């Protein structure tokens, strides 16, 4: 099934590349989602029980398959960063409903997400709360069965084109209290009065912006999970989808390596193809070996998650290694193309910009290192304790 999914993603990618390139950001985003929906790939971001694709042996009917997400993102990213981001945001934005939404809310929203008819967004980052999500301070106050939200979210993918936002809000306490018991998630339709979007641009095409909440009111039925359980829903969503960031990085890196090989074989300098020079051959060998290591770590994390393990260290290792490796590989590919490497419109110039944000979103490389270091120390201490018994 995974091979078939890869073939389908490749077919969409081949169609999408020339179609999306001339479009402006929002038109490209919508067209990308339409192409994914026509190919019935969006359903892989939503559990089967909620209207998503039937996942066979890959996942239980209340789950998304991380192996499938990874296979699809790897192929989509090879072709287009926009295709990749529009695919995964449907899952990231809607998974808080899977984890905490009522049956009624899930039934009303998720089948449309799975068909690409409703665009999803995940709104947790704030100007004052990035890596430290527990410091979120967008306030939600309850009165007579309705919640009133005030505050600002920033760096929200799909801001302005989303049909709804899954929003992490503070329902008690103060930033710095650790967030447990004091944050709650809400489903907020984009058309709700008081919600304002301020778009900005990042270095690669990506619909993104700030979302300001001015007395935005939602009914209690739009609360996702128990009051105070928001941080766990936000982190649960991220832990399901983070491994797929590694897979997207692998897709960008694979494309960069393909571009390097093609160029070094065809471009001649000093009377020979560039691929004849040992310095450049060593680069190709190192790009290949490091990419393969990243792919294996990604597979390890995806397999563990699909087997029901928490896999915290495996996921952090995969995300850290794959995104850092892909950045390095895309940089080498730019170097191999010489002046063409920085010329607008060249594939490697685009890859160099596309890949950069992956080291930042869904937990920066430094945050992944903090997670891994904690695991390394815990394992060492456990071992020392066992040996002293």
Ligand X SMILES: Cc1cc2nc3c(=O)[nH]c(=O)nc-3n(C[C@H](O)[C@H](O)[C@H](O)COP(=O)(O)OP(=O)(O)OC[C@H]3O[C@@H](n4cnc5c(N)ncnc54)[C@H](O)[C@@H]3O)c2cc1C
**Distance in angstroms (rounded) separating the CA atoms of residues 229 and 6:** 36
Q: Least CB distance from residue 363 to ligand X, whole Å?
A: 6
Report the relative pairing of strands 164-170 and 120-123 from DSSP bridges.
Answer: parallel
Binds ligand X (CB under 6 A): choice among 11, 23, 108, 202: 202
| C-alpha closest to that of 365 among 308, 311, 327, 310 | 327
Q: Which of 58, 66, 124, 253 is close enough to bind ligand X by CB under 6 A?
A: 124
Rounded least distance, CB 3 to ligand X, Å: 30
Rule CB under 6 A: is residue 156 a binding residue for ligand X?
A: yes
Residue 193: alpha-carbon gap to chain centroid: 28
Q: Is 339 helix (H, G, I), strand (E, B) or coil?
A: helix
Stretch of 155-163, 213-221, 252-260, 381-389 contacting ligand X, by CB under 6 A: 155-163
Residue 335 or 365: the one with the smaller Cβ distance to ligand X is 365
- Residue 24 phi/psi, 5° resolution? -70, 170
Segment contacting ligand X (CB under 6 A): 25-33, 122-130, 142-150, 262-270? 122-130
Q: Select the span of 109-117, 209-217, 324-332, 358-366 touching ligand X (CB under 6 A).
A: 358-366
The three-state (H, E, C) secondary structure of 41-75, written as one string: CHHHHCCHHHCCCCCHHHCCCCCCCHHHHHHHHHH
Give yes or no: 349 in active site: no
Q: Checking DSSP bridges between strand 208-219 and strand 195-199, what pairing results, if any?
A: antiparallel
We find the least distance from the C-beta atom of residue 143 to ligand X, in angstroms, to be: 26
Stretch that binds ligand X, among 48-56, 224-232, 282-290, 363-371 (CB under 6 A): 363-371
In the bound state, the residue with its beta carbon closest to ligand X is 130
Rule CB under 6 A: choose which of 51, 111, 130, 194 binds ligand X.
130
Of 85 and 305, CB closest to ligand X: 85
Give phi and psi for 217, each to the nearest 5: -110, 135
The CA-atom distances, in angstroms, between 144 and each of 166, 171, 217, 218, 220 are 22, 15, 11, 11, 9
- 142 contributes a contact to ligand X by CB under 6 A: no
Q: Which one among 59, 123, 218, 257 touches ligand X, defined by CB under 6 A?
A: 123
Distance CA 190, CA 192 (A): 6
Considering the complex, state which of residue 167 and residue 333 has its C-beta at the smaller distance from ligand X.
167
Q: How many residues does the chain have?
A: 389
* Residue 223, beta-bridge partner list: 186
In the list 2, 131, 266, 379, the residue contacting ligand X (rule: CB under 6 A) is 131
Catalytic residue among 48, 259, 349, 362: 362
User: In whole angstroms, how far apart are CA 159 and each of 6, 133, 272?
Assistant: 29, 19, 50
Count Cα atoms within 13 angstroms, Cβ side, for 135.
Answer: 9
Distance CA 76, CA 95 (A): 21
CB of 168 to ligand X, least distance (A): 8
Kindly tell me which of 85 and 257 has the beta carbon lying closer to ligand X: 85
Pick the piece of the chain touching ligand X (CB under 6 A) from 50-58, 134-142, 340-348, 361-369. 361-369
Tokens representing 381 are 């201490």
DSSP assignment of 137-160 equals --EEEEETTEEEEEEEEEEEETTT
Structure tokens at 173: 């306490």
Question: In Å, what is the CA distance from 208 to each residue of 22, 33, 163?
Answer: 19, 16, 14
According to CB under 6 A, which residues from 206 to 235 bind ligand X? 206, 208
In whole angstroms, the minimum distance from the beta carbon of 85 to ligand X comes to: 8
How far apart are CB 130 and ligand X at their closest, in Å? 2
Cβ-based burial of 319 (10 A; exposed 0-12, middle 13-18, buried ≥19): buried
Of the two residues 202 and 284, which places its CB atom closer to ligand X in the complex? 202
Query: Which of 65, 80, 125, 152 touches ligand X (CB under 6 A)?
Result: 125
CB of 277 to ligand X, least distance (A): 36
Number of residues that bind ligand X (CB under 6 A): 19
Piece of the chain touching ligand X by CB under 6 A; list 21-29, 38-46, 117-125, 295-303:
117-125
Q: What angle do CA 369, 356, 71 make, to 5 degrees?
A: 80
157 lines the binding site for ligand X (CB under 6 A): yes
Catalytic residues: 362
Residues that bind ligand X (CB under 6 A): 122-125, 130-131, 155-157, 202, 206, 208, 357, 360-361, 364, 366-367, 370
């Amino acid at each position: 099934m995974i091979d078939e999914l890869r073939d389908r993603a490749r077919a969409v990618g081949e169609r999408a590349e020339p179609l999306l390139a001339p479009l402006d950001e929002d038109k490209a985003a919508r067209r990308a989602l339409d192409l994914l929906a026509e190919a019935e790939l969006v359903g892989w971001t939503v559990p089967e029980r909620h209207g998503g694709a039937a996942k066979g042996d890959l996942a239980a009917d209340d789950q998304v398959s991380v192996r499938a997400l990874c296979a699809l993102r790897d192929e989509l990213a090879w072709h287009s960063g926009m295709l990749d981001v529009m695919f995964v945001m449907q899952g990231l934005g809607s998974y808080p409903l899977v984890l905490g939404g009522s049956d009624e809310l899930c039934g009303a929203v998720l089948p449309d997400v799975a068909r690409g008819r409703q665009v999803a967004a995940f709104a947790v980052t704030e100007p004052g709360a990035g890596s430290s999500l527990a410091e979120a301070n967008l306030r939600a106050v309850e009165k007579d069965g309705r919640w009133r939200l005030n505050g600002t979210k920033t760096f929200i993918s799909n801001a302005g084109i989303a049909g709804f936002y899954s929003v992490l809000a503070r329902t008690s306490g103060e930033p710095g209290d650790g967030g447990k018991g004091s944050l709650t998630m809400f489903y907020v339709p984009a058309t709700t009065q008081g919600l304002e979007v301020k778009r900005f641009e990042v270095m690669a095409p990506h619909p993104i912006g700030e979302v300001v909440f001015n007395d935005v009111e939602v009914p209690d039925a739009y609360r996702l999970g128990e009051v105070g359980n928001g941080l766990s829903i936000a982190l649960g969503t991220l832990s399901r989808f983070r491994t797929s960031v590694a897979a997207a990085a692998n897709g960008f890196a694979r494309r960069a390596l393909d571009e390097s090989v093609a160029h070094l074989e065809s471009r001649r300098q000093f009377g020979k193809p560039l691929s004849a020079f040992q310095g450049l051959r060593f680069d190709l060998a190192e790009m290949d070996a490091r990419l393969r290591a990243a792919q294996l770590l990604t597979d390890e994390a995806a397999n563990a998650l699909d087997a029901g393990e928490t896999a915290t260290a495996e996921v952090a290792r995969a995300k850290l290694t794959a995104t850092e490796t892909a950045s390095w590989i895309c940089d080498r590919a730019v170097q191999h193309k010489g002046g063409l490497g920085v010329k607008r419109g060249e594939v490697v110039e685009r890859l160099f910009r596309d890949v950069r944000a992956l080291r930042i979103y869904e937990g920066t490389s430094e945050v992944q290192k903090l997670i891994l270091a904690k695991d390394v120390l815990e394992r060492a201490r456990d071992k020392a304790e066992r040996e002293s018994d």
